[in-house]
Amino acid sequence: MKLLAALFAFLMNLPERPMRWAQGRLAGGRLGWVFVAPNLAVFAVFTFLPIAIDFHYALSGGTNLLPAERPFVGGENFATLLDCVDHFDPNTCRRDLFWHGVWNTMRFVGFQVGLMLGFSLLTAIVLNRKIIGRGFFRAMFFYPVLLSPVVVGLIWKWILQREGVLNAGMMGVGAAPVNWLLDANWAFFWSVFVSIWAHMGFYTLILLAGLQAIPAEINEAAAMDATPPWRHFRRITWPLMLPSVLVVLVLGLIRAVQMFDEIYVLTGGGPGTATTFIVQYIYKTGFADQVRQYGLAAAASLLLAGVLLVLTMIQLRGMRRG
Amino acid sequence: MVRFLTRTRGHAAWDWTDWAAHLYLVLGVLVMFGPVLWLGMSSLKSESGIQAFPPTFLPYEQVSVDVEGRGKLKLYRVTAGEFAGRELGEVRRMGLQVQLVDPAAPATLIRVAVGDREPVMHLRAAWDNFTGLFSQFPFFRYLWNSVFITAVATVLTLLVNSMAAFALSKYRFAGRDPVFLLMLATLMIPPTIVLVPNYLIASQLGLTNSPWGVIWPAVATPTGVFLLRQYMLTLPDELIEAARMDNASEWRIYWRIVLPLSAPALAVLAIFSVMWRWNEFLWPMVVLSRSESFTLPLALNAFQGELTTQWNYLLAMTVVTLLPVTVIFAFLQKHITQGIASAGVK
Amino acid sequence: MGGLSLRNVTKSFGPTKVIHGVSFDIADGGFTVFVGPSGCGKSTLLRMICGLESVTTGDVAIDGVVVNDIPAARRGLAMVFQSYALYPHMTVYQNMAFGLENLGTSAAEIARRVGEAARMLKLEDYLQRKPTALSGGQRQRVAIGRAIVREPKIFLFDEPLSNLDAELRVGMRAELTALHRRLKTTMIYVTHDQVEAMTMADTIVVLRAGRVEQVGAPLDLYNNPANAFVAGFIGSPRMNLLPGTIASVAGGVVSVGLLGVGVFATEALAAGHEVGAEVTLGIRPEHITTTDDEGPGTLGGVIAGVEQLGGLSYVRLESPDMTVQIAGQTNLGFGAAARLRLPAAAIHVFDKSGAALARGDQA
């Protein structure tokens, strides 16, 4: 331990000389640039530059990874993605998988965010009561949040497999076993369920913090006014926690739109295309297909980025108002 | 129902809403933690235990006996017929009949109908699922990759983000606020959006199939900068001026004064970073394609495709993957939940 | 070896000018106090001297060397901060040693100097404690010790006693003075408390709104304030300042008329001011005496309040609004009529701009 501390001290002393030199050259706060430089460099290389390349890819064709060797095709990639006879029927689209992804994602987002918000709210309200072992319960509801998406996917795959514990339970009560992940509707249901299971603890925590931020005096004042409980909730609790509900709603939307990892492990996007979402389309088109169509993947990324941008704007506006 | 929604910390005796609340929570724990427990239990089952249907909760295994001249035999209890009640080792199965042998008298074969015998089970944790990970797979390699990436990325994240946060909170310089806003704006650019171009950049930099390909893009996080900056703003400027008067260079001020005093915020960020890197999936999957560079989640994902029959190893590997996070959570539960509630990020 | 001089020093934060051309010299080895109301720029001035703030225009020179571009650490100064700014994660010993370590001082020398400072400040028993485990006075001493071990040319104190309670403050005042006597090092001390300034300083620099109002020894400032501001700021209770006009000029000396009160002879020289000019008459509460006389130089009023402190009494009058200090106890009571004399020798006269009219004894 002591050795480790000494090593750390030694390493941290290394930049001393160059930094002192820089300090001598840079007057005032300009040394600040030196301190932000590593961070900015990483952002520049892995966030800002990629955005620019994204646009280049989206506007160029071919399967070459090197930007210089990709022919400019204008909006062709977008046109390809958006080309449908009937946008509501993915099978009539040139990139049917993309549109399956779009509609699945929208359906998923609707169910997942709505239900998750409901359960998180309910759990937060329950946890805000005088509960025996509240810390334990809070921890239990939160625990899955920490798990790797791959672990989450595998846990549920193990439970839902044909000879899994759930089917054993079904037979125990006399029902027929179901091939949970091979039936399109059930697979979609479990995608929603598992993603709620894995993430609701996080949102519960935010809502609980919002609830606990309501000063006790306000509740006591309302009690002194003999406010009926339902009215108390509608007129006092709900308006005061509305800001955190909004945060949860928008954060939940932003995350749900990008859902991929755990569902990919759980269902692989199947059966068929039943649980293929947009991000999986991007991954598949750019990295998993035999012919890697980076242009299409980048175009899809940018479309997704547009959606996320709108959601973030809504969030910022909501936060400013809150 | 109505009272259930609004009651917070009453001191009255329990009414039905209290019962309902506790019932909900107990059911919730069953749903939230039950699957993890089931996974843990399953990972301790032997291969045959895992295939048993309906499954048992505890890891039972069929008892084996050493029979002279016949090697290890599985032990069965005969349930009907002339030999009912006796525990015999099974030699072989022949159609609808099995040949059994009494371990005490290995010379005589006994024939019993298949349906007239049941396995003798005992509780036994199959630890060899875990030891087998090391002997039968390059598991140590995956574990090392994950540990290396997590540790190095976390150290670098803390260093790089705290440096930026220090400048953004304690210096006045032209362009400081635009830089801060720019960093915050990257919150809007999730990694999924820049997956394709990042792959290009990583491959051009020679980072594919290298742990550094996962580490470098992760080192600068807007969340980390924000978290640390907000904390450092609360450190009094006079401390830094005192250090300046004490002839400390700016670098020394940063690492001898500001860094130690930001320990609480650094701890929160460290926990986040460990979780992020240990659990990360999509980007490593893109950038690490050779199996010797796999992290644990990648190895898990690869094996779940290949080894459908070897669930015992897959489950053990899953348990090993979730174990570190679980242990950290068990010890730092309060700090993690508070940190997340206050930062609003994960 | 710690003389300091400021030449036309100004400081602007963006468009706001906070120091308007300050010039003065501080002799080596002195104890100088910057005093002024909050916002007068005294702390800014101190921070410019030590190098924590840059100088907008003008020069700061230490021992004749202009130090404008020399960073704080290399000016050879040490500062005691208002909040003490002790490093909370270091022990008392480490706090004092940190600056020396940065200078590359040998461990033995550090130990010697810290030990010496600790002995001087009675901190020997606390060297291994963290600052949070110390009382306010002890923390204050650690902050001073941290400055002492540096053996600086000049000590700078930024309102160091303002976080202490009243009793401790009086004690620390004496300790600081004793320390100065022992070290004989130049000390510059910033405070808004004129009592601290009066009791500790060799030289006081009175500042207001970024300008020097007067520089001088404490009693000089007290006896001969250069203007109405210094007159009102130095001394407790405050000098009475009454608006009036010059009633007459005889032999170059003015008499001041207070409307509806009377005319008072002074020793102030007219120096070009004419009869009828608006002036302010100033007189310290302790210089006013009670009298039965109704002649010139006296006034009458109704008592609006009496504060009996035992050894002293303050009597407050309405119309004219003034405070009178009476030695010992008084039997004057609320509502009673009082007759007071304003001795000519004790009267200060300030012109419309606030500047004091020179007095005969000074001319």
Q: Are A251 and A314 in contact (CB under 8 A)?
A: no
Does the CB of A155 have a partner CB in chain B at under 8 Å? yes
In the structure encoding, which two tokens stand for residue B17, read together? 């809403």
Q: Are B89 and B100 in contact (CB under 8 A)?
A: yes
Q: Which residues of A touch B11 (CB under 8 A)?
A: 130
Nearest by CB to B242, from C81, C89, C103: name it: C81
| Angle C251-C254-C255 from CA coordinates, rounded to 5° | 120
Contact partners for chain B, using 3 or more CB pairs closer than 8 A, are A, C
The alpha-carbon gap from A53 to the nearest alpha carbon of chain B, in Å, equals 6
| SS3 at position A85 | coil
Does the pLDDT of residue A213 top 90, yes or no? no
Residue of B nearest to C157 (CA): B242
Residues of chain B with C-beta less than 8 angstroms from the C-beta of A125: 5
Q: Is the distance from CB of C286 to CB of C309 less than 8 angstroms?
A: no
pLDDT digits (tens, 9 = 90+) for A231-264: 888 888 888 888 888 888 888 888 888 888 889 8
User: B140: burial class by Cβ within 10 Å (0-12, 13-18, 19+)?
Assistant: exposed
Interior angle at CA B125, CA B124 and CA B128, nearest 5: 120
- Averaged pLDDT in 10-residue chunks for chain B of 346 residues: 50 74 91 90 78 74 75 78 76 78 75 76 75 81 93 95 93 87 80 85 91 92 88 90 87 91 88 88 90 89 72 85 87 78 62
DSSP state of C89: T
Two tokens, residue C5: 């001089």
CB contact under 8 A, B255 and A129: no
Of the candidates B10, B33, B54, the beta carbon closest to that of A171 is on B54
Give the integer Cα–Cα distance in Å for C180 and C186: 8
Query: Which CA distances in Å does A150 have to A99, A276, B277?
Result: 25, 16, 13
Strands C337-341 and C154-158: unpaired
Cβ separation B241–C103 shorter than 8 A: no
Average pLDDT, rounded, for chain A: 85
Q: Give contacts of A 30-89 with B, CB under 8 A.
A: 30-36, 38-40, 42-43, 45-54, 57, 65-67
Quick one: pLDDT at residue C191? 92
* Residue B1 pLDDT: 47
Interface touch A233/B5, C-beta < 8 Å: yes
> What integer pLDDT is reported at residue B342 of this predicted model?
67
**How many inter-chain contacts (B to C, CB under 8 Å) are there?**
57
Q: Which pLDDT band holds residue A103 (cuts at 50, 70, 90)?
A: confident
Q: Give the gap in angstroms from C-alpha B148 to the nearest C-alpha of chain A.
A: 17
Q: What is the pLDDT, as a whole number, of residue B211? A: 92
How far C153 CA lies from chain B's nearest CA (Å)? Answer: 13
For residue B336, what are the CA distances in angstroms to B17, B121, B264, B276?
A: 30, 42, 11, 13
Q: A164 pLDDT band (50/70/90 cuts)?
A: confident
Compare B218 and A220 and report the one with higher pLDDT.
B218
Q: Using CA atoms, how far apart are residues A124 and A87, in angstroms rounded to an integer?
A: 39
DSSP secondary structure letter of residue A288:
I
What confidence tier does A320 reach under pLDDT thresholds 50, 70, 90?
low
Pair A149, B281: CB distance under 8 Å: yes
Q: Does the distance separating the beta carbons of B256 and C79 come in below 8 Å? A: no
CB pairs under 8 A between A and B: 307
- How much of chain A, in percent, has pLDDT values that exceed 90? 16
pTM of structure: 0.81
B8 in contact with chain A, both atoms CB, cutoff 8 A: yes
CA A159 to chain centre: 24
Radius of gyration, alpha carbons of chain A: 25
Q: Do A156 and B35 touch (CB under 8 A)?
A: yes
pLDDT at C38: 85
B110 contacts: CB under 8 Å, gap ≥ 6: B83, B88, B99, B100, B101, B102
**Better-predicted residue by pLDDT, A269 or A322:** A269
Chain C hits for B172, CB-CB cut-off 8 Å, are: none
Distances (CA, A) of C105 to A15, C119, C145: 20, 20, 16
A297 pLDDT higher than 70: yes
Distance CA C3, CA C5 (A): 7
* Residue entry with tokens 């990324």: A301
HSE-CB for C362 with a 13 A CA cutoff: 16
Record: contact B243-C87, CB cut-off 8 A: yes
Those residues whose C-beta lies under 8 Å from the C-beta of residue C53, and which sit 6 or more positions away, are: C11, C44, C47
**What is the number of other CB atoms lying within 10 angstroms of the CB of residue A206?**
22
DSSP letter for each residue of A138-180: HHHHHGGGGS-HHHHHHHHHHHHSTTSHHHHHHHHTTPPP--T
Pairing of strands C31-35, C186-191: parallel
* Minimal-distance CA residue of chain B relative to A38: B160
Classify residue B289 as left (phi > 0), alpha (psi -120 to 50) or beta.
alpha
Among A12, A145, A151, the strongest candidate for a mutation testing the B interface, having the largest count of B CBs within 10 A, is A151
Residues C134, C137, C139, C141, CA torsion sign: negative
One-letter-per-residue 3-state SS of C133-167: HCCHHHHHHHHHHHHHCCCCCEEEEECCCCCCCHH
The alpha carbon of residue B282 is apart from the nearest alpha carbon of chain A, in Å, by 7
Nearest chain B residue to A131, by CA: B22
Residues of chain C with pLDDT under 50: 363
| Interface touch A137/B255, C-beta < 8 Å | no
Upstream peptide bond of A177 is cis (omega within 30 degrees of 0) = no
Closest partner residue to A155 (CB to CB) among B24, B36, B166 is: B36
Tokens representing A62? 């071919």
Q: Does B74 touch chain C (CB under 8 A)?
A: no
Nearest by CB to residue C89, choosing from B242, B249, B261, is B261
B30 lies within 8 A of chain A by CB: no
Task: Supply the ipTM of this predicted assembly.
Answer: 0.83
Query: Which residue's entry shows tokens 């290949």?
Result: B306
Tell me the shortest Cα–Cα distance from B104 to chain A, in angstroms: 37
Residues of chain A positioned with their CB less than 8 A from the CB of B297: 148-151
Question: Among C50, A18, A31, C126, which residue's Cα sits nearest to residue B242?
Answer: C50
pLDDT at A57 over 90: no
